[in-house]
Structures are given as C-alpha cells and as structure tokens.
Amino acid sequence: MADLKGLGVLVTRPEAQAGLLTGLLHAQGFRVFHLPTLQTERVGNPVIQRAALGPLDHYHWIIFLSVNAVHHAAHLLDHSADSSLIAVGPATAAALTERGHPPALIPRGGFSSEDLLNLPDLQSVRGQRILIVRGADGLETLGDALTQRGAQITYAEVYKRVRATPLPGAVAAVEREWAAGQIQVVTATSTDVLKALFELLSTEGRDLLTLTALLAASARIGHAARQMGLNGELIVAQAADSASLVSALTQWQRAR
C-alpha cells in the first residue's frame, strides 16, 4: 500500500459518524483531516411523538433509515417492536443492536431505498402499516413506492440536519493545510454535506474546493457538485458506507 501513503483526505462527516471512515483511511495509509459540516438536532417533543404513533406492535414493519434516526428515536422503541425492525444498512443495524433492539431485516449488498424495496418481505405489503423513522425533509422514494404497493405509511421525523459550528480557527486551520498541498481529496456523502462545506469555507477555501478531487457517495452528489461549479476530478463510490468510500478511493489512487 506504499502508493497510498501521503494522500491527504478531508473527511466532512459529522463528528459522531466520522470515526469508522477515519479509521479505515488511516489503516490504508492516508492522512486524514476532519472538518464536520453538519450536525443533527432532535425535532419534536419525544412524549408527544411517542403517543402519536400508538402501540408499536400495530406496525407490520418499522424502518430506520440512518444511524441518526436511531440516535434520536430511542424514546420510540420498546421490545414489542423488535421482530418488526428493518435497518437500512449494517451501521444502522449496529446502532439498533447497541440499544438492545436488533433488527429483523437488513438489505444484502446495498444501503439505499432501492435495496430496501428489493427485500422479499416488502414485496407484498398491501394493507400493512409501516412506520418509517427518518430525518426531516427526507426523500419520499421509499414511502411512495410502498404506498403504491398498498401499504399504509406513517413517518416519524425525529431529527433535522443543521450546519455545524466548528471550533474557532478550525476552518482556517484546514484551509492552511489545504493551501499548502496537504489535502488532495474531499469527501461528500450527501448534497447537504457538500453545500454546508461550501458555506463554511472562505473565498480562498471555495477556490481550493473547486479544483480538488471529490469523493462522492453517489452519482447524484457528483452531479450536484458540477452544478455548484466544482471542477475537480470525481470519484464516485457505489454507496455511502465507509467501506465503499475507501474502496473507491483506493481504486482511483491505484489507477492514477
């Protein structure tokens, strides 16, 4: 892995979610810089939310769409729902298991709404009640598709994403390293992350971002980057999980 050593990567995930990605990058010989661009905040009154949902055993399935959804929805869970839990991916499954609620189902081979929709148990859902636990302003892809299959969908929107407030001097410190040639790749695991990064940076930092290679978690994020005027090389991962991001980056570096 000697050809990987020395490459500088700016990780932009929130503090609580950056550990695994940072560890995998270090293990492959990359130098890692971290600038969290977003943070999450709980929305709604937990007591009112829980009461509004009613008994959890009335739902055929309860789908958690992110680790953040688990973090901010612990007050919703009881053991009557354990046999009905679905996690969008292994990280979300691990977060549920840590709280004593291991999920019954996890998609194999992917971590998207499309992968959830391919689960055999979600093919024939006519008349079933399904609860989707997610962040505010989430995409409607999953819920709309399940509705078309005849399910009755309820949403529990338990958190919102807001722009992070870095420690004083943190942005300037990253930009100094960047300007000195220490950062060659920037990660973007969502369009919100990318937009928040752009807003956090100074004019000089935005100029650097415009020309820096971008490790994007999807083609959609890469398209958004182009629309924002970012012209650096695009490295598109197959999914947003840490292993897929590191795999895409190592393949790109070897190809170079």
**pLDDT number for residue 138:** 75
Count up the domains in the chain and report the number.
Answer: 2
pLDDT attached to residue 81:
86
pLDDT recorded at residue 109 = 72
- Do 84 and 121 touch, CB atoms closer than 8 A? no
The pTM (predicted TM-score) of the whole model is 0.78
Q: Which tokens in the block code for residue 32?
A: 């890692």
Looking at 114, 137, 162, the residue that finishes a domain is 162
pLDDT of residue 164: 93
Q: List the CATH number of the domain containing 80.
A: 3.40.50.10090
> Domain end: 162, 181, 197, which one?
162
152, 172: one domain: no
Phi and psi at residue 250, to the nearest 5°: -65, -40
Same domain assignment for residues 124 and 52: yes
Q: Are residues 79 and 99 in the same domain?
A: yes
Q: Are residues 183 and 91 both part of a single domain?
A: no
**192: containing domain:** 2-37+164-255
Q: Are residues 149 and 180 in the same domain?
A: no
Helix, strand, or coil here: 86?
A: strand
The answer to whether residues 93 and 122 belong to one domain is: yes
pLDDT for res 5: 57
Please list the rounded mean pLDDT of every run of 10 residues in the chain (256 residues). Answer: 68 86 93 94 88 93 93 87 91 91 88 89 97 87 95 95 92 97 96 95 97 95 96 92 92 89
Q: In this predicted structure, what is the pLDDT of residue 2?
A: 36
For 7, residues 6+ apart whose C-beta sits below 8 A from its C-beta are 29, 30, 31, 184, 185, 253
* Cβ atoms of residues 200 and 193 within 8 Å: no
Nearest of 133, 122, 117, 115 to residue 46 by alpha carbon: 133
Q: Considering 162, 192, 212, which residue would you say is the last residue of a domain?
A: 162
**Are 134 and 49 in contact, with CB atoms under 8 Å apart?**
no
**In terms of domains, do 204 and 151 share one?**
no
- One domain for residues 174 and 128: no
Residues 212 and 145 in one domain: no
